[in-house]
Structure 1
């Protein structure tokens, strides 16, 4: 009997289903976390089990043996929401199909904020010439076994063992460089302990690493000159022939802020004016400025030549420069002291006159031999 078209179609469908089932049975799944596998204490994270068959049921396992998650097994298809997270959620996770499949590779969920934040600093500073290195130091009074450095908008983490420094600080140094555009950005660090590898401290305050020297330097000048008298208004002007849309002013390495381009100078150069207010001794120092573009906030020009600003003069004295010849010392004393002085003078004069009078009487009455 000749096979019909329907029997061929049935046979093909059966073979396809068996093949698909076999592939699904041994398919290697993957597990991801959104928005990040590093989760602050009290927030939520969604774990997604990736498969060619996303409509199947999946099971999520916590593989470090510290906590079982029966409530999350197979109830949300391939999405599992954890949180608000506690320290108990920190650990390693895998997923599989609810029926059976190979397990996904493990995914580590880290919970942050379980201890106080460390500090981070850049040496020799956060402005780094292209091709040079910068050292980021993470340090804390808490004795962390390990420090973790994270660059914002990057999935890469750098880890170093903590070392004891003088003064009881635990610290770790991370060398970044040679500096390129890929190295710039915002960095934070965390601390952790050996026995709790998935529980990290709160993040440090951020430090921005900026690359300099990728474009020509601007020029910096002071309106009226670099020598300013005390109390006079101080305005510094940063200008450039390049089409920068913002300028940055620094004094002795301290960032004094940025300004958008304020127009063009007399020779057509773009410029920005930095008013510093009435001059005081604190304004004296070395200033530099940089140009940059808003589309590249971590890439600045080369530094301007240094400007040495000096504020001279002293505060006005309230004492008269000349004394009236008729002004006496007692006139410059407080009123109470002046009255006491008058009394002492009168008593002294009376004592002298009395002494002279007694001496005359004694001489008069003594017999002359």
Structure 2
């Protein structure tokens, strides 16, 4: 016995074909998969069909043909959830959903965009490897290469997956036995575990085992800028310190040179006074004509009344 909602859907389909304007006037629904549209065999996936209306019944199609899956009775208004359990290879394919009005006229909506459901495990896993190593700065580029085994000759496509997302990040045709996935202008949110699969691009859509996960780490550009500015500040501080030290050493050198010069002049003056004193005819005569420079030397050398003979003539 055909379920009532399928019978009503057939009525709506016929009515819709007779009135294209009303058919196109309904908003297009959207379809998504949870937890992912790429899942292993024997697992469970939920296909969700959403539309901006409460007056509608939903139907599911695979590869253009109606399916007998009944929406969950717990689905909220405007949303139909189709639970597909114990998945088999035959469940793989392109799914769309549509809805039709419960009340007259029973016209149906345009179909949603197609969602490709892949059931993995039919081929050996590929190899995923990066073109560059190490951390990536935000705003940069990441290139990942997915490579299938040598012996396969089927017409295939590649899909790049990220853990935690419900659909492939990218889908591409191969170049030989491999393909490159390019992630442009990456952000911190692109950090995560990536894998890839290859699959048939037409029914029955057989897919390989996923590759091993590859961790990608994206660092913030602001952090790098902050580190650079800190380094520049350190270099500036270091340059200032060096200049100060050079000035201090220069002053010390000049002071030392000045002291050496003063002491050298004082020594010559003292020696001259001593010779003059020894050459006097009368020992009791004392030299009283002492130049200012010699007096300065006496002060510099610490001469006083109790100093030695060299200082007596300066006291």
TM category (shorter chain) comes to 0.5 to 0.7
Does 2:178 align with 1:255? no
Alignment of 1:88-99 (within 5 A): none
Q: Are the counterparts in 2 of residues 239 and 272 from structure 1 also a CA contact under 8 Å?
A: yes
Aligned pair count? 218
2:126/2:146 contact within 8 Å kept? yes
Q: In 2, distance between residues paired with 1:278 and 1:156?
A: 41
- Following superposition, the deviation at residue 175 of structure 1 comes to 1.9
User: What's the CA shift for 1:214?
Assistant: 1.2
When the two structures are superposed, what TM-score results if normalisation uses the length of structure 2?
0.56
Scaled by the length of structure 1, what TM-score is found?
A: 0.49
- Are 2:104 and 1:196 aligned? yes
Instruction: For residue 177 of structure 1, report the CA deviation from its aligned partner.
Output: 4.1
Instruction: Flag structure 2 segments of 5+ consecutive residues without an equivalent.
Output: 1-10, 242-315
CA contact 1:144–1:162 (8 Å) conserved in 2: no
Q: 1:225 aligns with which of 117, 133, 141?
A: 133
Q: Does 1:128 align with 2:39?
A: yes
Shift of 1:308: 0.6
- Aligned to 1:262, the other structure's residue is in SS state coil
**RCO (CA 8 Å, sep 6+): is it higher in 1 or 2?**
2
Q: Which of the residues 142, 149, 156 maps onto 1:241? A: 149
* Structure 1 residue 174: Cα displacement: 1.6
Q: Report the Cα offset of residue 304 of structure 1.
A: 0.7
Structure 1, 254-263 or 127-136: larger mean CA deviation: 254-263
> Which structure shows the higher helix fraction?
2
CA offset at residue 260 of structure 1?
3.1
| CA shift for structure 1 position 305 | 1.0
Aligned pairs for 1:330-345 (under 5 A) are none
> Contact 2:130–2:142 at 8 Å: present in 1 too?
yes
1:316 is aligned to: 225
| 8 A Cα contact 2:72 2:82, kept in partner | no
Shift of 1:206: 2.8
Q: 2:92 aligns with which of 164, 184, 188?
A: 184
Match of 1:211 in 2: 119
Q: Aligned residue for 2:312?
A: none
Provide Cα deviations, 1:86-142, integer angstroms capped at 9, x if missing partner. 66xxxxxxxxxxxxxxxxxxxxxxxx4453233322122211212222221223342
SS state at 2:217 partner: strand
Give distance in 2, aligned partners of 1:134 and 1:214.
Answer: 18
1:273 & 1:85 partners in 2: Cα distance? 43
Distance, in Å, in 1 between the alignment partners of 2:135 and 2:112 is: 41
Match of 1:144 among 37, 55, 71: 55
8 Å CA contact retained: 2:129, 2:146: yes
Alpha-carbon contact 2:158-2:173 (below 8 Å) kept? yes
Q: 1:141 to 1:164 in 2, by over 3 A?
A: farther
Please give the per-residue CA displacement for 1:48-99, whole angstroms capped at 9, x wherever unaligned.
xxxxxxxxxxxxxxxxxxxxxxxxxxxxxxxxxxx56566xxxxxxxxxxxx
